[in-house]
Amino acid sequence: MSENISYLSGRKDLHENLFERISRMAETEDTANTEKIQELARDYLVGESTIYSTLSFYDLLRPENKNKKAYVCNGSACMCSGTQSRVRSELKKHFRDEEIGEMTCLGRCHENGAFQYNGQNYSGIAIDNITQIIESKKTIQEKYASLASGTAILMQTPLTAEEFALQLRNLFTLNPEHVLDEIKKSDLRGRGGAGFPMGLKLESVRKAEGERKFIVCNADEGDPGAYSDRYLMEQQPLRVLLGMIIAAYISSADTGIIYIRAEYPESMETIEKSIRELEENSLLGNDILGSGFSFTLKLIKAKGAYVCGEETALLSSIEGQRPEVRVRPPFPARKGLFNMPTLVNSVETLANLPFIVEHGGSKFNSIGSSQSKGTKLISLDSFFNRPGVYEVEMGTPLATVVEQLGGGFKENVKALHIGGPLGGLVPVSDISSLQISFESFAEKGILLGHGSIVSIPEDFPMMGYIKHLFRFTVHESCGKCFPCRLGSVRGLELLQRATDGDYRIDRELFTDLLDTMQQGSLCMLGGGLPLPVKNALQYFDNELRDHFD
Ligand SMILES: Cc1cc2nc3c(=O)[nH]c(=O)nc-3n(C[C@H](O)[C@H](O)[C@H](O)COP(=O)(O)O)c2cc1C
Ligand code: SF4
């Protein structure tokens, strides 16, 4: 990343955002329109290569995706459910092959068979109604369970604008220092993957010096299998936005950005509507409710790149730079968006703040396990009898989630892939040894991540699954560091050769490759892929050994 480009991009305010200008240009112009690229580069005083490298990065801005009419979900859960080829063949009755693309993942893991048509997502039985969908714009409601098994922190009755105003009024009677102390007391840890203490991050942003400060809500939930942030944005939008305002009030930020992934059109629609509602009720803007506190919110619509969920790539994306992961330090809390102090938190982390402000940090802290406080949302896929998003108190046994909430499996499952593509593979025989908490997963050397659960059925080849993980990393790697950029390609080549013929992979070479990626990658995309692959080699040796020397 370039600090200069961050500065230059920030010269124009967010309503003239460079990323949005580039996106609009790609949608209306030929991607390689040199004249337009030069014009934009001149306007922002950046090099043409800056514009071109952004333009060529995102799935949805690429020329080959311009004339796509429909996209099939190629996420892990849809793959394991075996629905993709049927969805594609049904779509082919209406569209030419080159008009059908792929997206990862549409967050419809609870019923699979997922596809996007005309900017709307569909799943389950929708593909059987594709003719009506195309001809009469028929809408088909998705169905999934959403239930809190213990204390409901995130799954309370959704806030209305009146309740939102009431909570804001209460917030403004409190000293920001006091609110920060309550959050520190709560021991809330980040829900986006790393589990970093929220209070510490907020305190750093509060103390950091800058002309202005930003709150960025990371709504790029790209982990195949996860749809809990989607649930929050679509069913609890005001709770998420209130969380952003609370964070801004503590850290004196004047602007919030919610960056939502392209694959979630319904989330964008709901959040856009909610922001408008708050603006119309003067609950955003200057001097909110006469408090002297001013705050605006902006929605940025992403364009399809998993790596933008990594917080520094996310900031580069908003700035209109190629979203490559940045070397840290400096951390975003000190030097983030447009080089200003920035708080980046996941949707779920921020959505916890209204509860803490309303009930106090000690109440939140009294729920959960020794090192993980509060609750966690868990997404269950369609192999469960009751797929859906469940809110469970931290420390809840995984077996309770699988058996009691999910109602067990519909068919034989051999492993669970928990916490996204970089999370661990857990053989079903190990379910009883895990609880939903950071420490329980860490003891096993795996990650809780976003709390997504993808089931791998008995008859799905493990070789196919690890190839899928490598292919995902090849596609999503930002290319900044060699271990990930080259390692993922070499790994995929080895696995492909071994499945195509009688080639046997040198086990030592493959282990070296995984160790190099694990130890040498700059971020957890390249650094995290080896974990589930090593788990597969350990637990499913009987399936894989024929492919290795
Ligand atoms: C490849 C990659 C993808 C990520 N995707 C997400 C994401 O979609 N949502 C998210 O909140 N965090 C994601 N993260 C973690 C973020 O970098 C960051 O830790 C998080 O947004 C911080 O918020 P939290 O403290 O609330 O967890 C990702 C990290 C990596 C390495
Ligand atoms: S590990 Fe991959 S995604 Fe992360 S910085 Fe390196 S190349 Fe980019």
Residue nearest to atom 31 of ligand 1 (CA): 524
Report d(CA 4, CA 341) in Å as an integer.
16
Both structure tokens of 22: 């580039």
First to last CA, the chain: 42
523 lines ligand 2 (CB under 6 A): yes
Yes or no: say if 324 and 478 are a contact pair by the CB < 8 Å rule: yes
526 lines ligand 2 (CB under 6 A): yes
| pLDDT, tens digit, 9 for 90 and up, residues 438-454 | 999 999 999 999 999 99
Could you give the maximum distance between any two Cα atoms of the chain, in Å? Answer: 74
The alpha carbon of 234 and the centre of ligand 1 are apart by a number of angstroms equal to: 20
Is the N-terminal amide bond of 105 cis, ω within 30° of 0? yes
Report d(CA 308, CA 289) in Å as an integer.
35
Yes or no: say if 36 and 337 are a contact pair by the CB < 8 Å rule: no
446 lines ligand 2 (CB under 6 A): no
State the closest ligand 1 atom to the C-alpha of 309, by its place in the atom list counted from 1: 5
Residue nearest to atom 12 of ligand 1 (CA): 192
476 lines ligand 1 (CB under 6 A): no
List C-alpha distances in Å: 197 to 41, 151, 203. Answer: 39, 21, 10
What per-residue confidence (pLDDT) applies to 30? 61
The alpha carbon of 219 and the centre of ligand 1 are apart by a number of angstroms equal to: 9
pLDDT-flagged residues of the chain (< 70)? 1, 30-32
Count of CB atoms situated within 10 Å of the CB of 133 = 21
Report d(CA 305, CA 56) in Å as an integer.
11
Residue nearest to atom 4 of ligand 2 (CA): 523
Residue nearest to atom 7 of ligand 1 (CA): 309
Indicate the residue type of 439. E
Question: What predicted TM-score, i.e. pTM, was given to this entire model?
Answer: 0.97
- The strands making up 342-346's β-sheet, listed across from edge to edge, are 296-301, 255-260, 214-219, 342-346
The alpha carbon of 158 and the centre of ligand 2 are apart by a number of angstroms equal to: 38
The alpha carbon of 346 and the centre of ligand 1 are apart by a number of angstroms equal to: 7
377 lines ligand 1 (CB under 6 A): no
Q: Which ligand is nearest to the CA of 307?
A: 1
What per-residue confidence (pLDDT) applies to 31? 59
The alpha carbon of 91 and the centre of ligand 2 are apart by a number of angstroms equal to: 34
Report d(CA 86, CA 92) in Å as an integer.
10
The percent of the chain in helix, strand and coil, each rounded to the nearest 5, is 50, 15, 35
Both structure tokens of 241: 């936005």
The alpha carbon of 311 and the centre of ligand 1 are apart by a number of angstroms equal to: 6
480 lines ligand 2 (CB under 6 A): yes
State the closest ligand 1 atom to the C-alpha of 312, by its place in the atom list counted from 1: 17
The whole-angstrom distance between residue 539's C-alpha and the CA centroid of its chain comes to 28
484 lines ligand 2 (CB under 6 A): yes
Report d(CA 181, CA 171) in Å as an integer.
14
Both structure tokens of 506: 């040198």
User: What are 409's strand-pairing partners?
Assistant: 384
Report d(CA 354, CA 239) in Å as an integer.
7
In the numeric block, the tokens 């009691």 are attached to: 404
222 lines ligand 1 (CB under 6 A): yes
Residue nearest to atom 6 of ligand 2 (CA): 481
State the closest ligand 1 atom to the C-alpha of 349, by its place in the atom list counted from 1: 26
Reported in sequence order, the residue ranges of 203-350 that DSSP labels E, i.e. its strands, are 214-219, 255-260, 296-301, 342-346
416 lines ligand 1 (CB under 6 A): no
Report d(CA 330, CA 503) in Å as an integer.
46
475 lines ligand 2 (CB under 6 A): no
The alpha carbon of 479 and the centre of ligand 2 are apart by a number of angstroms equal to: 6
DSSP count for the chain of H helices, then E strands: 25, 14
Yes or no: say if 139 and 147 are a contact pair by the CB < 8 Å rule: no
The alpha carbon of 93 and the centre of ligand 1 are apart by a number of angstroms equal to: 39
Report d(CA 523, CA 310) in Å as an integer.
8
Residue nearest to atom 8 of ligand 2 (CA): 478
Residue 174's SS3 state is coil
Best probe residue, ligand 2, of 53, 474, 480 (max atoms within 8 Å of C-beta): 480
User: What are 344's strand-pairing partners?
Assistant: 216
Best probe residue, ligand 2, of 311, 481, 519 (max atoms within 8 Å of C-beta): 481
203 lines ligand 1 (CB under 6 A): no
Yes or no: say if 372 and 451 are a contact pair by the CB < 8 Å rule: no
The alpha carbon of 336 and the centre of ligand 1 are apart by a number of angstroms equal to: 15
310 lines ligand 1 (CB under 6 A): yes
Give buried/exposed letters for 399-436 (b at 16+ CB in 10 A, else e): eebbbebbeebeeebbbbbbbbbbbbbbbbebbeebbb
What per-residue confidence (pLDDT) applies to 434? 97
Count of CB atoms situated within 10 Å of the CB of 13 = 10
